[in-house]
A and B are shown apart, each in its own frame.
Chain A
């Protein structure tokens, strides 16, 4: 257990509404990531953060924004949700410090989002 929680765990929303997903970690890891999982695609990186207020885009960033105002929280926002954003969203963390384990990502429990 790497001390990662995601909220909410399930959400149903309507097209055009804003949605924010939260990832919270308790162990002061430097890097945080947001992925989405869809059938036939594995997991794909949306955005990642390499420190407070330091973020960058991943492979499928269109329609998503992120913020990290403190080490322990990484927020993913869908400004205007669309049906194509129906997916399972995973947060991950890495960066235990120097040595073994620094480059290994550990995942939160996931959030299932349905956009009607």
Chain B
């Protein structure tokens, strides 16, 4: 079975701090992509960052970066200089690269940025 586990149901940090969200996944496949999606109170699912499993270099997008450890099947998200607008649910997900790409999601981490 392919699964994604986010062990932190909720997190809270002060504005401008750095926060790391954890994610582990399980698959026997070798060719897959990993994602972090953000869901603010508006409910819209927004792609934050994407990582190809065959790449060793960790993906970065402005203040967002990942720590991808393929052997450990770990894919954490680091948010630097956190802002009030980062308050949201964050979902970790992955897809296997074959045919239709079916995303497998974790349960989510609710992140609150306090002023």
Chain B residues contacting A33 (CB-CB under 8 Å) are: 100, 102-103
Q: How many residues of B contact A (CB 8 A)?
A: 22
Given contacts A41-B107, A45-B103, A94-B101, contact A106 B44 (CB under 8 A): no
On whether A105 and B103 interact (CB within 8 A), knowing A42-B108, A88-B43, A110-B44, the answer reads yes
Indicate whether A27 reaches chain B with its CB closer than 8 angstroms. no
Which secondary structure dominates where chain A touches chain B? strand
A42 to B44, CA, bound (A): 14
Q: A31: nearest residue on chain B (CB-CB)?
A: B100
Q: Could you count the A-B residue pairs with CB atoms below 8 Å apart for me: how many are there? A: 54
Main secondary structure of the interface of B (DSSP, over half): loop
The 17 sampled A-B contact pairs (Cβ below 8 Å) are: A31-B101, A33-B100, A33-B103, A42-B91, A43-B45, A44-B105, A50-B99, A56-B100, A90-B45, A92-B103, A103-B95, A103-B97, A104-B35, A105-B101, A106-B47, A109-B43, A110-B45
